[in-house]
Structure 1
Amino acid sequence: MSSSLRRLYEDLRSICVALVYPPGDDCDILMQQLKRIGCRLKIIWPFPAEPPTDVDVILFHLTQEIEGNTIWSASSVASALIALTDYESPTILKLLLDTRAHGVISKPFRSSGILSTLVLARASYSYQERLQGKIDKLESTIKSRRQIEKAIRVLVDSQKMNEAQAYEHMRSKATGLHVTVAEVSGMIIDAHEAMEKLGLKL
């Protein structure tokens, strides 16, 4: 077994999987295979109003009965989502798209296919998390840049500095206070807005 494949199996043995599915033969098949893989397992039924927490993967029963109710979405659940469907229909496909599930397993359930779906769902969730992290960082950078530009305009207007002097002033203060330029710009904007409310000038 290659080192990458070994790491994959070790990862699956360390995860906790929530199985949200009604009792019966189908549930037993899923349980047996998940236990065979080595996952820690939580069996949940009836269907909860909120998705399980503190788990790495959620396998959940997706049926037309949940249409119109709160739909779990991968964008708001801190776990990989795998939908378990009884059959395919336009309604089920629409619900599946709404959940943005990382994987889907359709009946009849078999021991084969569960492992590969787990692997792909985990990989998809990990990629989604990395991508969201990059988006959050980019949005934070854009927000900080806009705030710095706003603070520069405040200093240019109120302190008769040019833009280069205003930025250098903020950078110097940031160094002295051991904070970021964005934090200094926030102080300037807050002070400026407070003075405006009092009818005064900074």
Structure 2
Amino acid sequence: MRRSIALAESPTAPHYGQRQAKQAQAPRSTLELFRHLRHACITIFHPEDENREVLTQQLHRIGCQTVALWPPVAELPAQTELVIFLLDAQASAKKKLPWLTPESAIPLIGVLDYENPTTLETATALGCHGMLVRPLQAKGLLSTLILTMHHCQQLKTLRKRNQRLEEKLQAAGEISAAQAMLAHARGISATEAYKVLREQAMLKRVTVEDIARALLQTDGLLSNPAKPR
């Protein structure tokens, strides 16, 4: 396997996950994305040729650190914060690469030889957040990088929001079921049953959801006793 590694002279960037965790609470502005990009470590999976030379030179001008490799490897360099990779005719085989997925937390930019519905469909299916077309040029690269990072950030925000909504819906269902069970067992109203759950939560310093879940689990154990062997 041939490898070519080029590192720009800039301060060592902290690990991607650590840097992103600090910024996860609120979307970053374009200026913040640009400042972040100037010290980001970018991994490039592209054969050593004029296209890669143009790409690495422009990234160095921006201030990025770059690691250039070919062919692609399964494990990304530890500090990778964005990946640019050649999306060639054998791109479908790259689906086995663990970092190449629509759920990727790292921004992905695919490099195409030409644009058509098939290649674009492949790029989106693989999880690309942005695209470049060969022959690569310095012009427009910065815009692509910023928009790609913004797109990836927006997707992560939406996923987290959806996850929170799903958790809330599940918790609401558990509370409702616990209310009904408690109301039936004690002969009280649903409102009174909820007050009991809330009082127990405050007493034990846990959430109402935790009390409801524990109550349902206890009822499940009592309703399905283990059979003697």
Q: 3-state DSSP class of the match of 2:210?
A: helix
Which residues of 2 match residues 1-202 of structure 1 at below 5 A? 7-49=32-74, 54-70=79-95, 72-73=100-101, 75-198=102-225
Distance 2:78 2:160 in 1: 20
Distance 1:101 1:37 in 2: 22
The worse-fitting range, judged by mean Cα deviation, of 105-114 and 86-95 is 86-95
Amino acid at match of 1:110: Q
Distance 2:189 2:52 in 1: 70
CA contact (8 A) 2:47 2:70 kept: yes
Give the drift of 1:25: 1.4
CA contact (8 A) 1:16 1:42 kept: yes
CA contact (8 A) 1:52 1:58 kept: no
Q: TM-score, normalised by structure 2?
A: 0.78
CA deviations over 1:48-71 (Å, ceiling 9, x no partner): 246666422111110121225526
Amino acid at match of 1:24: D
Give the drift of 1:148: 0.5
More helix by share: 1
User: Structure 1, unaligned stretches of length 5 or more?
Assistant: none
The worse-fitting range, judged by mean Cα deviation, of 188-197 and 125-134 is 125-134
Identity %: 27
The worse-fitting range, judged by mean Cα deviation, of 136-145 and 39-48 is 39-48
Give the drift of 1:6: 5.4
The worse-fitting range, judged by mean Cα deviation, of 31-40 and 157-166 is 157-166
User: Structure 2, unaligned stretches of length 5 or more?
Assistant: 1-28
Amino acid at match of 1:40: Q
Distance 1:95 1:53 in 2: 27
Amino acid at match of 2:51: D
Greater relative contact order (Cα < 8 A, sep 6+): 2
Give the drift of 1:94: 2.2
CA deviations over 1:27-79 (Å, ceiling 9, x no partner): 11111111111112222221224666642211111012122552622x32111
Q: TM-score, normalised by structure 1?
A: 0.88
Inter-CA distance 156–8: structure 2 relative to 1 (3 Å threshold): closer
Distance 2:89 2:118 in 1: 7
Give the drift of 1:194: 0.7
Amino acid at match of 1:122: M
